[in-house]
Amino acid sequence: MPDIQHRTVQTNGIDMHIAEMGEGPLVLLCHGFPECWYSWRHQLPALAAAGYHVVAPDQRGSVSYSHLR
């Protein structure tokens, strides 16, 4: 199984980090406060292996973003 991929997407004037794996229907994993994408590190591979495209973004307020620098 491939590793978790990390990339930055630009949306609404900010750069947002996402972790993603797999192909197929989208599953969006949203963490709570004060967590980050890493909260889903065990679920990402399991859901990807089950045939889903899994995305776990770092939500605003959980990490530094480019517009705050």
CA–CA distance, 27 with 32 (Å, rounded to integer): 16
The predicted-structure confidence for 52-63, as pLDDT tens digits, reads as follows 999 999 987 666
pLDDT for 7: 96
Name the residue ranges covered by the structural domains of the chain.
Answer: 5-59
Token pair listed for 27: 């599953």
CA–CA distance, 32 with 3 (Å, rounded to integer): 24
Is pTM beyond 0.85 here? no
pLDDT for 61: 67
Collapsed DSSP state (helix, strand, coil) of residue 68 = helix
CA angle, residues 14, 30, 13, in degrees to nearest 5: 10
The predicted-structure confidence for 11-48, as pLDDT tens digits, reads as follows 889 899 999 999 999 999 999 888 999 999 999 999 99
